[in-house]
Amino acid sequence: MTRILAALSAAVCLTAGLAAAPAAAAPAAAEHRPRTLGELAEKHHKYFGSATDNPEFTDAAYLKLLGSEFGQTTPGNAMKWYATEPERGVFDFTAADQVVAFAKAHHQKVRGHTLIWHNQLPAWLTEGTWTPDELRAILKNHIQTEVRHFKGQVMHWDVVNEAFNEDGTYRETLFYKTLGPGYIADALRWAHETDRHAKLYLNDYNVDGIGPKSDAYYTLIKQLKADGVPVEGFGIQGHLALQYGFPADVQQNMQRFADLGVEVAVTELDIRMNLPATPDKLATQATWYADYVKACLAVKKCVGVTIWDYTDKYSWIPAVFPGEGAALPYDENLLPKPAYYSIKKVLGG
């Protein structure tokens, strides 16, 4: 009997030891896993995200990094008008739903991009002849149908994208020419009526520093706020190029918008260079990325940074700027570049 008890006791101890081993090992493994950019940004009460596009959804290695490294995503094209209302009154959210479902599955925030833009419009809209009343009805229906579809799933909407020219004059889009500048306030009101919890943004490029174009947005947002129009954010795209210099006053510019009482977000950051990429160019790029993220960290109402996709494999730059590229923190093989490590260091990793 004593032998049997001893044997049982030994077996229980062995079983307990085996059961305990994984539990003891798990915290050690967790402690040694490097923090992601998304996790590091959260410690600053901000997000760090990446845009994506539906063709990339066939690339499993790409999706693994997109889902694990970033705390936010933006559909690069799937929410634009040509994709969501290809025929008048006929809506298709299939592609956008795919991105939103991925974000939800990976606990990512979503920025909606974009309700009104002068590019990537369907032919039925651009080739039609519209009275002001007709176009207002079309615009209101488009905005409210799309915002309603994603209500509760989208935290920010880029309601109007790229409304100004470089000199600060209004861009003469279909909407401006037919409806006048009031279309911006109307669009914000219609979006707000449909989803009162989503933050509503105006978004543009070449507004990183203080100049005629960012001044135009400053004046407009100040006036919209005074008129009680629900504008709640200013999106600074951040498409930079090494050959044109870094906007030294980017933090000052962010702060003046924050002082108007709106959020600021870096919405489409990438930093391109003339190819081929060299160690010196990549080092400069890394410094610029770090400095841009530092500027956002220094402004309390700068809520986050989104890179315009994270890998050179899927960058829009080479197709639009021939001879330029290497704009993102990961290379074409999904390997981190100096820029990735510089961002991580600034975030405290």
Q: Indicate the DSSP class of residue 308.
A: S
Nearest CA to 50 out of 32, 36, 33 is that of 36
Cα(276)–Cα(157) distance, integer angstroms = 36
Strands (E), the chain: 47-52, 72-75, 109-116, 156-161, 199-204, 233-236, 239-241, 263-274, 302-307, 324-325
Residue 230's nearest CA partner among 188, 190, 270, 258 is 188
Task: Catalytic residue, from 69, 162, 232, 263: name it.
Answer: 162
Q: Is 268 a catalytic residue?
A: yes
- For the record, the structure tokens of 232 come out as 């709640």
- For the question of residue 162 being annotated catalytic, the response is yes
**Alpha-carbon span 271 to 246, nearest angstrom:** 10
Question: Shortest CA distance to 57 belongs to which of 17, 94, 98?
Answer: 98
Residues tagged active-site: 162, 268
